Amino acid sequence: MKFKNFIVIVIISLFVFSACAKGGCPSKETATSAVKKLMPVRFEILSLSESKEIPGICEVAIKINKDPIIFYIDKTGEYVFSGSIVSTKDKSNITQKRQEFFKTKM
C-alpha cells in the first residue's frame, strides 16, 4: 500500500513539475485537469503555493483517500522533492507540520 502511494506521488510530481511555469507554480485547475488524464486514482489538490521557508520552491499538498501528502517542486520544473524538510534552526519538521495542518482541515 505504501509503495502504491509512493508511485502515485512520483507520477503526480512528474506532472506538476513539468507544468510549472517559468514564473511560478501552475494553477490548481491546470494541475487537476492534467493529472486526471494521467492518474486513475482519486485525489484532490489541497494547495499549490510557493514555499514560505525555501525561496524558489513550490509546495504541493494533495489528498489521496483521507491522507494529505506534501511534496515540493522547483519553479523551473526540473526537480521534485519528496520527503521531509527539516529546519536546522529549531530542528522542526516543516513537512510534518504542513501535513498536520492539512489533517486538521479534513
Digit-coded pLDDT (tens) for 80-101: 677 899 999 999 999 999 999 9
On the question of pLDDT at 44 being above 80, the answer is: yes
CA–CA distance, 53 with 79 (Å, rounded to integer): 17
Question: What total of structural domains would you count in the chain?
Answer: 1
Mean pLDDT in the chain? Answer: 75
Q: What is the pLDDT of residue 54?
A: 84
Q: How sure is the predictor about 19, in pLDDT bands with cuts at 50, 70 and 90?
A: very low
For residue 6, pLDDT beyond 60? no
Give the CATH number of the domain where residue 38 resides.
Answer: 3.10.450.70
**pLDDT tens digits along 27-37:** 666 556 655 66
DSSP assignment of 54-105, as one string?
Answer: STTEEEEEEEETTEEEEEEEETTSS-EEES--B-TTT--BHHHHHHHHHHHH
Q: Please tell me which residue, 95 or 1, carries the higher pLDDT value.
A: 95
Q: Residue 67: which domain range?
A: 2-105
Grid coordinates of 45:
489538490
Query: Which pLDDT value is given to residue 55?
Result: 83
Cβ neighbours of residue 18 under 8 Å, at least 6 residues apart? 77
Q: What pLDDT is stored for residue 76 in this prediction?
A: 56
> So what's the pLDDT on residue 101?
96
